[in-house]
Amino acid sequence: MVAAVPDGAGGGRKPQADISGGHLGRTSRADISVSESRATVSKWKSQSTFYVSIAPPLRAGSDRPSEILLRLSRPKRRCRRASRRDAGQQWQDSSSESIDRVEITFLGTSSGVPTRSRNVSSVALRLSQRGELWLFDCGEGTQHQFLRSDLKVSQIRRIFVTHMHGDHIFGLMGLLASIGLASSPDRIDIYGPAPLSDYLDACSRYSKTRFSYPVRVHSVKPGLVFEDKEYRVECQRLDHRVTAYGYRVQEKDRPGRFDIDRAKALGIPPGPVYGQLQRGEWVELDDGRRIDGSTLCGAPRPGRSVVYCTDTVYCDNAVKLARDADVLIHETTFAHGDAQMAYDRQHSTSTMAAQVALGAGVKQLIATHFSPRYTPTSTVSLNDLIDEARAIFPNTIAARDFMTHALPPKEA
């Protein structure tokens, strides 16, 4: 799907090419497209039928067996839309573990080039309570991977880019252009190495593309990249052929579980006030009583952490960045026996990724960014790479496209 607003679509207005920090004006053409797109979406949403998707046939040598996927329209999660309307409802929904999850979905797990079963790099992080998606890297075809998943591009709020190699950024322009037609985000923030801003600027200028929403590009340096009330994102330099950054998303510690039975026993009527109490705030009730929310909550719950390191050969900064993380997603391009190739190309072997996980004391290693050279019929297969990693760090799994790994809330 070509989603860019073509030259002249804005009634002859000159295309704006400055993306950095720029607010690119809406065009009448884009507005029409957005409303048409929304009509289509709402029609689709009104359907609640099962549908069967048959995966494309795979060639011999593919690393994933042919399969038939039965998909079900995702049930609506009320908390995403209801959060601002009804704080009381939000409290009730957010207390459910099934909703209070951070989910990592792999949209591309191949290095360099796509294969029939693996696209090039992209990982989506779904922050369930916010109804937001954060994307890490955006290889070519990422927007097509979205179409084949349960994820919605309209929920993308931030994009973090590790480095400027094509298998990590060639999908970015198409995705950004399509987002403007599928939705109307308040703004998308993109973080990455310094050349990213010039790259997007040039792509926009030469393809005469302008976005119907603000896009802000941030050139990152080692250290803090983003912070708000709930999350903190930092990056560190990795060792690769070009400047590359690994990212760590750290959820901040959260208030402990709210004791609803005790609140009821105290005669506090359910409603938005429960949300305030759960956040540990003081509230004044209609009867004049003042209640300290922290007395109704358990011990603070530790935040969750996800670290994304690619592309890199083994480096101490990756260990530092991943210290005690819940999940480390680390590139695992080569088998241990191909270590020379890994050093030459500044990539990691299975054993290097495992050593980073071990050294950092993470809970889980998810290996990704596999070289297409390893297939089920090759002398060394992906299973061998994972076995090599597990020999050093047992809690290792291999990512595959569309795999979702959920992080439930942690208890104190």
Kindly list the distances between the CA atom of residue 272 and the CA atoms of 71, 86, 268, 296, in Å, as whole numbers in the listed order.
Answer: 36, 7, 11, 15
Residues that bind Zn ion (rule: CB under 5 A) add up to a total of 4
Please report whether residue 311 would count as binding Zn ion according to CB under 5 A. Answer: yes
Please report whether residue 167 would count as binding Zn ion according to CB under 5 A. Answer: yes
**Cα 47–Cα 68–Cα 369 angle in degrees, nearest 5:** 105
Q: Which of 63, 93, 167, 311 is catalytic?
A: 167
Q: Is 167 one of the catalytic residues?
A: yes
Which CB, 311 or 388, lies closer to Zn ion?
311
Please report whether residue 137 would count as binding Zn ion according to CB under 5 A. Answer: no
Q: Which stretch binds Zn ion (CB under 5 A): 151-159, 163-171, 258-266, 292-300?
A: 163-171
Please report whether residue 254 would count as binding Zn ion according to CB under 5 A. Answer: no
Please identify which residue in 118, 126, 165, 210 interacts with Zn ion, judged by CB under 5 A: 165
Which CB, 140 or 251, lies closer to Zn ion?
140
Burial per residue of 48-85, b for 16 or more beta-carbon CB atoms within 10 angstroms, e otherwise = eeeeeeeeeeeeeebbeeeeeeeeeeeeeeebbebbee
Q: Which stretch binds Zn ion (CB under 5 A): 108-116, 198-206, 258-266, 374-382?
A: 108-116
d(CA 192, CA 138): 12
Contact (Cβ atoms closer than 8 angstroms) between residue 288 and residue 324: no
Minimum distance between the CB of residue 50 and Zn ion, rounded to whole angstroms?
37
Contacts of Zn ion in 214-253 (CB under 5 A): none
Which CB, 212 or 350, lies closer to Zn ion?
350
Q: Which stretch binds Zn ion (CB under 5 A): 126-134, 210-218, 268-276, 307-315?
A: 307-315
Short-list 3, 11, 21, CA closest to 215 = 21
Contact (Cβ atoms closer than 8 angstroms) between residue 306 and residue 324: no
Residue 92 phi, psi dihedral angles, 5° rounding: -65, -45
Contact (Cβ atoms closer than 8 angstroms) between residue 312 and residue 239: yes
Give the dihedral of Cα atoms 90, 94, 95, 98; nearest 10 deg: 140
Minimum distance between the CB of residue 253 and Zn ion, rounded to whole angstroms?
34
Short-list 1, 2, 24, CA closest to 205 = 24
Contact (Cβ atoms closer than 8 angstroms) between residue 254 and residue 237: no
Minimum distance between the CB of residue 355 and Zn ion, rounded to whole angstroms?
20
Please report whether residue 338 would count as binding Zn ion according to CB under 5 A. Answer: no
Q: Which stretch binds Zn ion (CB under 5 A): 32-40, 79-87, 88-96, 111-119?
A: 111-119
**Contact footprint for Zn ion (CB under 5 A):** 111, 165, 167, 311
Show which residues are catalytic.
167
